[in-house]
Amino acid sequence: MLKKKKKQGDKDIRRMMLNSWNQIIFSNIKQRLQNSAMRLGVLCESLLKFENRLEMYHENFEKPYIEAAEAFYRVKAPEYFEANGVQNYICFAYQKFKEEEQMGLKYLEPCSDSIQALRECCAQCLIDVFKEHISTECSSFIRNNEAEKLHAIFRLMDQIPEGIAPIQKCLEQYIVQQGLADMFSNADQITKDCARYVELLLDLFTKFSKQIKEVFNDDPRFLTSRDKAFKQLVNDTSAFRLELPSMEKCKTQPESRCPELLANYCDMLLRKTPLSRRLISDEIESRLKDIILVLKYIQNKDVFMRYYKVHLTRRLILDSSPDSEKEENMVGWLRDVGMPADYINKLARMFQDVKVSKDLNQKIKDSHIHKGTFSDSINIKILNVGAWARGSERVQVSLPLELEDFIPGVEDYYKQKHNGRKLQWYYHMSNGTITFSNKVGKFDLDVTTFQIAVLFAWNERPYDRISFEDLRLATKLPDAELRRTMWSLVNFPKIKQQLLLCVPEVKTPKEFDDSTQFWVNQEFCLIRNGKMQKSGKLNLVGRLQLSTEKSKEEDNASIVQLRILRTQEAIVQIMKMRKQATMQQLQIELVKILKNMFLPSKQMIKEQIEWLVEHDYMQRKKTTEIVSSMWHNCHLLMILMEF
């Protein structure tokens, strides 16, 4: 009790003393005390501020550490290089670089720039001094697929400015060299089998894509190098070239045949062939997408589209495509990859025409049912000429009476339903199936219209011999087409017993003359597995019906002519927008517009500018290279007609 009272008394005395101190002393000096404290606080704060809080660390630890490492490797690196050679040195430098990096993470301040400074020091001592020697080993490592050593070079050279460039160059050169070597070594096989060409390209692409992923970690710089190399490879003309006529007579300009070979491979996948039969649907789709992958590297995409369209036309007319959905998907993929829109639109129109023709064809058949005709055995496709063919391809032929009598009825029916439209018959695109009977048996023959016209010449006189001159008069076929047709009937490569025989025997269709005699082979039969068949079906159509001799010669010329018109159209479009431009600006703009179709050469651009200037579409300023539009307020319409 006494202790509690004593403590309470002490508290009271303490409180009284503090109150007295506050009233007598502190209240009189508190303002001065506050001012002094503020001044002292500012002074202390200024003394605590440092420009670099890690200055002592940098000066007394980091700097000596890096200098010691530099001094060591300035001596050790050259010694090791001289003693062990460049390949062993690469492994040594890579190992030491990793060790120094790990030690730096352990001993140096991670929040500072110490690690980066150490990397730069090691890169200078271990790599930069020997970069030329290291770069020379890239080619052998890439060629021998030494992934670990190549990865070491990549990690080392990536530490110095522009160190990756030599490796990229080596990779690009090797891809092109390897690709061309494969093409030349397989040239004979590729000319007969376009699938081999595409397989070589895709194998090469897969190989180097895998290498870039494993060795270079899918670095975008090396992916770009791969793309550059493949672009050069697929557009190379040294192995396979397509000769396109130039503006100057008797001269041709070579282009890569890659677009043609890719289009042929697409055709093999999309129609009924041994290749497509042994692949399942998913495998076909995968290969088509691989083709799309290669297409992005092609410069002359218009050549691919022209050949693809020819093959598609054949497949749609002959109904040789087993999967129409895959056909339409392929057109969609071509659109997605940036193929020229006008080409894609024509392909889409072709599918639409086929679908519409099915309904219209059925209506035509229904209208003939009660007229006693053989309309059920005839299938008619009514197609838009702008999307399917050129007008110059039409070939006249004298048809058998059965067909001649049927045609007017079709024309009358169509004109009743569609006023103002004109029908033109494309006999070289038509085909049919006829039954051939002899003492051996009966055989169904798939033939072209031209072959039908020839074979029906023996319909009433099956044992007669008919001369080439008489066949020309009977069929009214042009000489070139008649020769090709007769050759397909006397020398069809897939059969031993030919349908027609001739005398004298010839080795080429050019050797036929007016006196050459032809007759039906009454011993004709099909032989399978060494046994004679008494019945069966034979396709004699081949690839005759879609390309006449004249159009085949004009195909490449038409590609060049269309390019000229495209270039003129693009130049006018640019000049209407810009009003005036330098030659360099015009070339850059043209490439941007036309790159999805073809890459215009400087010579072509120059020639078309000269043509437009000469015909007053543009004018050139005399003192500069500037060209300008002469028609600022007019509406210029350029129509490109492609039949």
Side-chain-side CA neighbours of 65 within 13 Å: the count stands at: 20
Q: Report how far residue 234's alpha carbon sits from residue 281's, in angstroms, rounded to the nearest whole number.
A: 27
Q: Read off the DSSP letter of residue 456.
A: G
Q: Report how far residue 133's alpha carbon sits from residue 87's, in angstroms, rounded to the nearest whole number.
A: 9
Q: Report how far residue 559's alpha carbon sits from residue 427's, in angstroms, rounded to the nearest whole number.
A: 24
Angle at 527 between CA 522 and CA 528, to 5 degrees: 160
Determine the distance from the C-alpha atom of residue 315 to the mean position of all C-alpha atoms in its chain, rounded to a whole number.
22
Q: Would you say 340 and 330 are in contact if contact means Cβ atoms under 8 Å apart?
A: no
Query: What element of type H or E holds 244?
Result: strand 241-245
Q: Phi first, then psi: what are they for 599, rounded to 5°? A: -105, 105
Q: Phi first, then psi: what are they for 426, rounded to 5°? A: -105, 90
- Per-residue confidence (pLDDT) for residue 106, from 0 to 100: 85
Q: Of all residues in the chain, what percent carry a pLDDT higher than 70?
A: 86
Q: Report how far residue 471's alpha carbon sits from residue 458's, in angstroms, rounded to the nearest whole number.
A: 10
Kindly provide the residue ranges of all beta strands, DSSP E only, lying in 225-357, ordered along the sequence: 241-245, 252-256
- Judge residue 517's burial from the number of C-beta atoms within 10 Å of its C-beta, 0-12 exposed, 13-18 middle, 19 or more buried: middle
Q: Report how far residue 100's alpha carbon sits from residue 120's, in angstroms, rounded to the nearest whole number.
A: 11
Farthest CA pair distance, the chain: 156
- The three-class DSSP label of residue 279 is coil
The end-to-end CA distance of the chain, in Å, is 124
- Judge residue 544's burial from the number of C-beta atoms within 10 Å of its C-beta, 0-12 exposed, 13-18 middle, 19 or more buried: buried
Whether pLDDT at 129 is above 70: yes
Number of H helices, E strands in the chain: 26, 13
Q: Which of 377, 355, 379, 375 is nearest to 365 (CA)?
A: 375
Report which of residues 2 and 504 the model is more confident about. 504
| 154's tokens | 């990549």
The band of 11, judged by pLDDT with boundaries at 50, 70 and 90, is confident
- Per-residue confidence (pLDDT) for residue 545, from 0 to 100: 54
- Per-residue confidence (pLDDT) for residue 5, from 0 to 100: 54
Whether pLDDT at 154 is above 70: yes
Q: What is the mean pLDDT of residues 610-636?
A: 59
Q: Report how far residue 453's alpha carbon sits from residue 363's, in angstroms, rounded to the nearest whole number.
A: 27
Q: Report how far residue 406's alpha carbon sits from residue 377's, in angstroms, rounded to the nearest whole number.
A: 12
Q: What is the mean pLDDT of residues 313-320?
A: 86
> How would DSSP label each residue in 327-386?
HHHHHHHHHHTT--HHHHHHHHHHHHHHHHHHHHHHHHHHHHGGGT--GGG-------HH
CA distances from 6 to 14, 18, 343, 468, 590 (A): 12, 19, 110, 148, 106
Q: Would you say 611 and 568 are in contact if contact means Cβ atoms under 8 Å apart?
A: yes
Q: Report how far residue 257's alpha carbon sits from residue 260's, in angstroms, rounded to the nearest whole number.
A: 5
Q: Would you say 183 and 200 are in contact if contact means Cβ atoms under 8 Å apart?
A: yes
| 182's tokens | 């494969």
- Per-residue confidence (pLDDT) for residue 36, from 0 to 100: 76
CA distances from 224 to 145, 157, 158, 229, 371 (A): 20, 18, 16, 9, 68
Matching residue, tokens 């005395």: 13
- Residue pLDDT, tens place only, 258-268: 888 899 999 99
Q: Of all residues in the chain, what percent carry a pLDDT higher than 90?
A: 16
- Residue pLDDT, tens place only, 53-71: 677 777 888 888 888 888 9
Q: Report how far residue 71's alpha carbon sits from residue 566's, in angstroms, rounded to the nearest whole number.
A: 66
Q: What is the mean pLDDT of residues 41-52?
A: 53
> What type of residue is 70?
E
Q: Would you say 636 and 576 are in contact if contact means Cβ atoms under 8 Å apart?
A: yes
Matching residue, tokens 């101190």: 21
Q: Supply the pTM of this predicted model.
A: 0.74
Q: Report how far residue 602's alpha carbon sits from residue 594's, in angstroms, rounded to the nearest whole number.
A: 13
Whether pLDDT at 553 is above 80: no
Q: Would you say 244 and 257 are in contact if contact means Cβ atoms under 8 Å apart?
A: no
Angle at 88 between CA 83 and CA 94, to 5 degrees: 120
Q: Would you say 572 and 612 are in contact if contact means Cβ atoms under 8 Å apart?
A: yes
Q: Phi first, then psi: what are they for 586, rounded to 5°? A: -65, -40
| 194's tokens | 């376009």
| 503's tokens | 């005398």
Q: Would you say 586 and 571 are in contact if contact means Cβ atoms under 8 Å apart?
A: yes
Side-chain-side CA neighbours of 272 within 13 Å: the count stands at: 8
- Residue pLDDT, tens place only, 367-394: 754 455 555 677 888 888 878 866 556 7
- Per-residue confidence (pLDDT) for residue 591, from 0 to 100: 80
- Judge residue 176's burial from the number of C-beta atoms within 10 Å of its C-beta, 0-12 exposed, 13-18 middle, 19 or more buried: middle
The band of 556, judged by pLDDT with boundaries at 50, 70 and 90, is low
Q: Work out the mean pLDDT of the chain and round it to a whole number.
A: 81
- Per-residue confidence (pLDDT) for residue 629, from 0 to 100: 47
Q: Read off the DSSP letter of residue 428.
A: G
